[in-house]
Amino acid sequence: MSDKARILFDALDLDQDGTLTRAEVIAALRAKGPTLAAQGVIPVWGVGDAEDSSALFDEADANGDRVLSLEEFTALVDRRFGWS
């Protein structure tokens, strides 16, 4: 797991419960995405609209339980953003 993936996960975990819901991912990327991109936490092209965020969630939810664990999330973003 990359440090960037952990930082991004923590930034998106709005209720700080250790998991991400679809609503959290969409809301946090819309609210914080541009700032995170400006800070170099995520690539600029990684900030999309609600549909892109929802698709990212679906791709990451490997076990289909409708929440993302840190492991599920980092496996996807490390691969997608070339962090691993």
Q: Render pLDDT for 8-46 as a digit per residue (tens, 0 to 9).
A: 999 999 999 999 999 999 999 889 988 988 988 888 877
Which residue type, as a one-letter code, is found at position 1? M
| pLDDT above 90 for 52 | no
Domain count, the chain: 1
What pLDDT, on a 0 to 100 scale, did the predictor assign at position 25?
93
Torsion of CA 66, 76, 15, 45, to 10 degrees: -120
Q: Domain of 49: which CATH number? A: 1.10.238.10
Range of the structural domain that residue 30 is part of: 3-81
What pTM does this model have?
0.87
DSSP class per residue in 49-67: -HHHHHHHHHHH-TT-SSE
